[in-house]
Structure 1
Amino acid sequence: MGEKLGFKRLKELLNEAYGIESYLENSKTWEASLNTEKFKEKLIQISEESFQHRERLIELSNMLGIDIKKEFPEADQMKDRTIYEKLVNTETLARDTYTELHKIEEDIIEEHWLEEDPKQYYRKIENLISEEKGHLNILRGIIRDQETAQKELDIEKTKVKEALEKIKGSEDRLKESTIFGAKETLLLAFTDLEDLNKVNRKLAEKENTKIQEVTKFPDKTLIEVLIESPTTSYL
């Protein structure tokens, strides 16, 4: 008899999480590309904690009798702004992957758990979710800083056409992605309120986009847009 679908999904998610954490750990190679000491420190912190997450995933998998494929994807060569956006996207994917792991049915965990208390599984996953949210808060905190947003990250002031082109570019990339539940986060800055309202109306027409956060600065408004693949099926 083949293994249960739920257990197969559990293995897939654990391997996905391991790959994501390995990528985040390798992100320390971006340090030399950053101009901001504050950002460098945060990047090192996230990298070190991602290493710890990876080790905890191995421990968790051993408790379930699962062998993880130890793959170590290389970090791409990027500059300040691209690094920030990539980190937000990857940390969001990590959080969502752990959230899916937390949804695995209890009978699957109980059947394969090799320790005394199978509820440990859910507590460990909850801790990982909490820490990934912490990473996202760290990164979002940087962008909330007016000086960082204006001088260090140099986020471009966006017009309607440019914003829609960026959104379409994300959608096109997500269509081609082979990662389950892949998402991207875009940061768009507007100096013109009417331009912002036009983009908001366009986003409201889509089922695969959502404004996560709005931050107002004296000279512009920054919005964080979560984008899923337009081909995603909603049950």
Structure 2
Amino acid sequence: MAKNKDPAVLFYTSDFLGGAALMNMKERGQYITLLCLQRERGHMTEGEVARAVGRLSEEVRGKFETDEDGKLFNRRMDEEIKKREAHSQRQRENVAKRWNKQKDDDGMSSGNTMVLPLGNGTSSSYIDNLSLEQETSSARTRDAIATVMSAYLDKINANPSQQSLDELKGYVEQMGPECCQRAFDIALDEKKTSWSYIRAILRNKLAQGVRCLSDWDAVEDKRKGEGEDDYWAK
């Protein structure tokens, strides 16, 4: 199985405690460590398991099966990873449908163009070019929103609230996708991936006049030059 990019998976504590009831604390440590490694890296070779947790007891070894490549895996963890991936994919599709519907409602996909009154020598070719530029710009914005939404679902939260998605869309439109992606990276580095934390980062930068990634870098360069330490200067 390929390395899983989703930052989380459902973990049923009662099931784990029930399955580890006959294990001592060392064995429980081995068991939970291997489950986490499987979620992060996929199926594991015997050598990888040995380097990670040492020699397995029969109790822990019994929780894992061997695939066709001779690698160890826990079947329940495999199933939970697949469920999570399927759920994330459905969420991405729902987001894409939402933005596509908004595009249709705005008349962007129906071939409509803006009509301006002709006069004072204004040529029809100029109007056509202006309409094309506006549609191209809107398409780029929609693509940027879709890219950021997909990253948010994959990296941060596979089941976000509608309010958080609406607010995130606003930040993409105001600051661009790169700034939003940087906020995600900071949140992941700090292990604080709530929407309120990410929103605080973006709100802070927006208040400082950041409208693109180069603005962000300029703000941080200025702070460093003044000897100030910014918590979100990464």
TM over 0.5: no
- Structure with greater Cα Rg: 2
Q: Normalising to structure 1: TM-score of the pair?
A: 0.32
- The answer to which structure, 1 or 2, has the higher relative contact order (CA under 8 A, 6+ apart) is 1
Q: Which has the higher strand share?
A: 1
